[in-house]
Amino acid sequence: MSSKTHSRKYWVGGNWKCNGSLSSIAALSEALNPSPFPFTKDDLDVVVFPTALHVHAAVEKLPGAYNVGCQDCCVAAKGAFTGDISADMIKDFGLNWLIVGHSECRAKRGDSDEKVAEKVKRAMEAGLNVTACIGETLEQQQAGKALEICYQQLKAIANSVTDWNRIVIAYEPVWAIGTGKVATPEYAQTKHMEIRTWISDNVTKEIADNLRIVYGGSVTPSNCETLMQQPDVDGFLVGGASLNAGFVDIIKSALVA
Ligand code: PEP
């Protein structure tokens, strides 16, 4: 039961990135299935994102309270894009969630704001739920440009959204991803509030009030509770700490917030 005043359903994602094997996923699925099992799909949305090759194993092995999604999609609906998977294929496979705009895709695979916007559009057309990532690099933060960058990335995403019920915004400062340098609860709250304000000013207040904004960047079982207490933090996108049993403790922090 939430002590916060809004009615947003919390959301916790586990981004498994390029990790896993059939045997490690079988073991992880057991670790993520404690007894008694602590949550249902009615309590909150929990989504894990394995590699596309491991989606089937995760669906088969994880308890039904977990959703399984894909880490990225093709900019186009189909065609000559070797190595890609389209949003339609993800939906056709029976999955409902997709990450778009992760900083690693932006930095290492050339996902510009325009490409991210195109992927959000494809995902919307396919009927998928989208976790759209935004966040500033250390250089951008040090140059005092964190908010400007977040707003620029947010604007590109917002222009492609046709159904705001199917969007979660993941605020992930790049300097916090995989570094162990988690944002302070105050910093995260300020950024989440500023993101919500932008949505209120540029989309509608009602959509801003209902939009789930989750934090990502070195979230662990020991720092999640205070982050989760912040009024505009609606959950987490978790990388490293989603690869072991501690992920359940992070999920539990969203149950009691
Ligand atoms: C991520 O990959 O989105 C992420 C937040 O990673 P980590 O939790 O390992 O920082």
Question: For 191-249, how does the pLDDT look when each residue is reduced to its tens digit (9 = 90+)?
Answer: 999 999 999 999 999 999 999 999 999 999 999 999 999 999 999 999 999 999 999 99
pLDDT given at position 194:
98
Pocket test for ligand 1, best of 11, 15, 251 (most atoms within 8 A of CB): 15
Give yes or no for residue 1 having a pLDDT over 50.
Answer: no
Catalytic residue status for 102:
yes
Residues sharing a CB contact under 8 Å with residue 13, sequence separation 6 or more, in sequence order = 46, 47, 48, 49, 69, 97, 99, 131, 168, 170, 214, 235, 236, 237, 238, 242
pTM above 0.95, yes or no: yes
- Is 178's C-beta closer than 6 angstroms to any atom of ligand 1? yes
- Say what percent of the chain tops pLDDT 90: 96
Q: To which residue do tokens 């778009």 refer?
A: 100
CA-closest residue to ligand 1 atom 1? 239
The residue-averaged pLDDT of 134-150 equals 98
What mean pLDDT do residues 176-180 have?
Answer: 97
| 145 Rama sector, left if φ>0, alpha if ψ -120 to 50, beta otherwise | alpha
Please give the sequence-ordered ranges of beta strands (E in DSSP) within the chain, or none if there are none. Answer: 11-15, 45-49, 67-70, 97-100, 129-134, 167-171, 212-216, 235-238
Task: Determine the average pLDDT of the residues in 135-148.
Answer: 97
pLDDT at 6: 85
Of the listed 104, 118, 136, 172, which one is catalytic?
A: 172
Cβ neighbours around 157 below 10 Å, total:
22
> What atom in ligand 1 is closest to the CA of residue 241?
8
240 lines ligand 1 (CB under 6 A): yes
Question: Which amino acid would we find at residue 95?
Answer: L
pLDDT confidence bin for 52, thresholds 50/70/90: very high
Task: Tell how far the Cα of 96 is from the centroid of ligand 1, in angstroms.
Answer: 21
* Active-site annotation holder among 54, 102, 104, 118: 102
Question: Is the shortest distance between the CB of 182 and ligand 1 below 6 Å?
Answer: no
Q: Is the CB of 216 under 6 A from ligand 1?
A: yes
Instruction: Say how far apart CA 122 and CA 77 lie, in whole Å.
Output: 7
Asked if residue 101 has its Cβ within 6 Å of ligand 1, the reply is no
Calpha distance 142→75 (Å, rounded): 32
CATH number of 11-255: 3.20.20.70
Q: How confident is the model at residue 3 (pLDDT cuts 50, 70, 90)?
A: low
Q: How far apart are CA 50 and CA 233, in angstroms?
A: 24
Residue 105 confidence (pLDDT) above 70:
yes
- Residues 54, 16: contact at Cβ < 8 Å? yes
So what's the pLDDT on residue 256? 85
For the question of residue 6 being annotated catalytic, the response is no
Residue 237 Cβ inside 6 Å of ligand 1? The answer reads yes
